[in-house]
């Protein structure tokens, strides 16, 4: 860096879910110069905004990093596509739009582990409400009139209503709201949409702030390393853009990494912050040894059970009909409703894989469709899919650089189903799915199990089949986890400061000590709100 290096008070790396909110909050102080750096491009691709467009954004280099996991023994040697948003809004521009906070016990567990009451559910709840615009209006659990729109879905399906009734017959209560601290129950998910259009964090937080003269946005700018001098993060370096010079910027106050559970540990390791042995392996001089950088990877593995049905319409048959396709397009054009307004999953349920469990430990995502794998055509027979995931997996994986080149994707090894407990929950979950589907409310549709197949009954068979049909639900967290000062494996403290370094924080899903009990996008916004508060207080 030299005297010509542009200088800012704060530099935010990553304009995804957390980065867009942080840019809004920090730039609200007109005395602060804020730089927001994003490796991807602008969110002007039309499929980002049409809810069903996630089908065209995932696996698209315009919007997705196109990561793959390493082959995993728990998945019987399979590797998985691992989408991460590479565009303004990050994963909020390509995800399932489901609004889910998790359970109060998640946050109370963080507080107990950290010895810090600021992370308890009751302390976090105001920070969820701070940015919320809930369709019901404000109450003790929800906010209204702020940036992050939460709406009901604009459709229902007969087969999903029947599954909900069957779940209630199986002992799962109906719930009108998954976001009050206990998400046990069955009901339709609420979504981050505004009148049938995806509501990403770029629209919600970044666009309103871009008119501020003290906020600067760089897109197409991949950060290659954090510059560290005398134990302090002082700036960033980035790859050249379109044949130009390498990017440089200096921060006088703090740098905040918001590159996500994959990007953040990669940037730290490339900067010489991480496990010394890994850094030496790739010829990187260690600047600060932190063994936990890239460790503790957690994710939700969904086990997709498919059932063929009779006497009811599902999306499978509709999309294979020219008239059906035309009707879908017309309904969305005229009413912003119907299948084009669909989140990837519409109906949800939280319950116990075994009645002896002390709390709900599995989540269902139920869909009026079926297919062999994500991105494949829908089946030509009527069917529904009941995907179930273990909310609190014990398996822990890693994210590690594969070379000193920022352009090379990191090695992602989630180690799914690597514990006996996770395999037991997988087998119990498939049995629970069968019990729900066997209830009277679904009998009239004569459901027939296609995947995994009724011939598989033993724990060993079902755990192996879970490895064959399981796939990520796109919730990686934990790779730069919070912990107490000096705690082995901890990367940041309870105020999100990187331990042992000055002027460097992390505010994204990587800081979660344990994964939340549900979809992870909205908890990341809460984390970003906390970071904004603490950054302002540190001024």
Catalytically annotated residues? 475
CA dihedral 270, 276, 278, 281 (to 10 degrees): 100
Tell me the C-alpha distance between 504 and 510, whole Å: 14
Task: Say whether 344 sits in a helix, a strand or coil.
Answer: coil
Tell me the C-alpha distance between 165 and 81, whole Å: 34
Closest CA to 303 of 479, 183, 458, 431: 431
Q: What is the CA radius of gyration of the chain?
A: 23
Counting DSSP H helices and E strands in the chain, the numbers are 16, 25
Tell me the C-alpha distance between 298 and 358, whole Å: 21
Q: How close are the terminal C-alpha atoms of the chain, in Å?
A: 24
Phi (first) and psi of residue 22, to 5 degrees: -60, -40
Strands (E), 219-361: 223-229, 232-238, 247-257, 273-274, 288-289, 301-308, 347-351
- The CA-based diameter of the chain, rounded to the nearest angstrom, is 75
The residue to which tokens 């003790």 are assigned: 140
Tell me the C-alpha distance between 156 and 532, whole Å: 38
Note whether 497 and 256 are within 8 A (CB): no
What tokens does 524 get? 């990341």
Q: With DSSP H G I counted as helix, E B as strand and the rest as coil, what are the percentages for the chain, rounded to 5?
A: 30, 25, 45
Query: DSSP letters of 285-301?
Result: PPSEE-TTTT--BB-PE
Q: What is the 3-state secondary structure (H, E, C) of 359-385?
A: CCCEEEEEECCCECCCCCCECCCCEEE
């Amino acid at each position: 860096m030299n005297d010509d290096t542009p200088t800012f008070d704060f530099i935010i790396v990553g304009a995804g879910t957390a980065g867009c909110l942080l840019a809004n909050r920090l730039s609200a102080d007109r005395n602060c110069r804020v730089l927001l750096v994003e490796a991807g491009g602008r969110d002007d691709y039309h499929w980002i905004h049409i809810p069903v467009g996630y089908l065209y954004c995932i696996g698209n280099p315009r919007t997705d990093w196109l990561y793959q996991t390493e082959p995993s023994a728990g998945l019987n040697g399979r590797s998985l596509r691992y989408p991460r948003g590479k565009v303004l809004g990050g994963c909020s521009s390509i995800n399932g739009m489901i609004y889910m906070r998790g359970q109060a016990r998640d946050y109370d567990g963080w507080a107990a582990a950290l010895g810090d009451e600021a992370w308890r559910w009751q302390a976090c709840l105001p920070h969820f409400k701070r940015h919320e615009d809930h369709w019901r209006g404000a109450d003790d659990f929800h906010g209204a009139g702020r940036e992050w729109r939460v709406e009901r879905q604009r459709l229902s399906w007969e087969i999903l209503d029947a599954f909900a009734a069957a779940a209630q017959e199986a002992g799962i209560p109906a719930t009108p709201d998954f976001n009050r601290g206990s998400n046990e129950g069955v009901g339709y998910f609420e979504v981050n949409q505004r009148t049938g259009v995806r509501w990403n964090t770029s629209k919600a937080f970044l666009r309103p702030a871009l008119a501020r003269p003290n906020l600067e946005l760089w897109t197409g700018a991949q950060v290659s390393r954090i510059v560290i001098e005398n134990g302090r993060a002082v700036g960033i370096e980035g790859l050249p853009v379109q044949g130009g010079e390498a990017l440089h910027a200096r921060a006088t106050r703090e740098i905040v990494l918001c590159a996500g559970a994959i990007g953040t540990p990669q940037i730290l390791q490339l900067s010489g912050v991480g496990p010394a042995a890994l850094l030496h392996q790739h010829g990187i001089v260690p600047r600060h040894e932190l063994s936990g950088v890239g460790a503790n990877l957690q994710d939700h593995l969904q086990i997709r059970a498919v059932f063929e049905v009779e006497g009811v319409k599902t999306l499978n048959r509709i999309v294979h009909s020219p008239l059906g396709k035309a009707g879908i397009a017309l309904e969305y054009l005229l009413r912003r409703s119907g299948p084009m307004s669909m989140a990837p999953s519409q109906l949800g349920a939280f319950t116990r894989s075994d009645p002896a469990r002390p709390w709900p430990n599995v989540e269902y995502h139920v869909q009026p469709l079926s297919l062999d794998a994500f991105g494949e055509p829908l089946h030509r027979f009527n069917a529904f899919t009941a995907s179930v995931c273990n909310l609190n997996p014990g398996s822990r994986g890693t994210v590690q650089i594969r070379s000193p080149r920022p352009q090379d994707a990191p090695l992602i090894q989630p180690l799914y189903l690597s514990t006996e407990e996770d395999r037991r929950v997988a087998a119990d979950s498939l049995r629970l799915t069968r019990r729900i589907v066997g209830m009277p409310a679904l009998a009239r549709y004569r459901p027939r199990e296609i995947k995994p197949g009724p011939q598989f009954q033993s724990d060993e068979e079902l755990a192996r089949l879970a490895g064959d049909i399981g796939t990520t639900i796109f919730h990686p967290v934990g790779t730069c986890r919070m912990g107490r000062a000096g705690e082995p494996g901890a990367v940041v403290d309870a105020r999100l400061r990187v331990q042992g370094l000055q002027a460097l924080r992390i505010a994204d899903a990587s800081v979660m000590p344990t994964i939340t009990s549900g979809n992870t996008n909205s908890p990341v916004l809460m984390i970003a709100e906390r970071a904004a508060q603490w950054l302002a207080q540190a001024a």
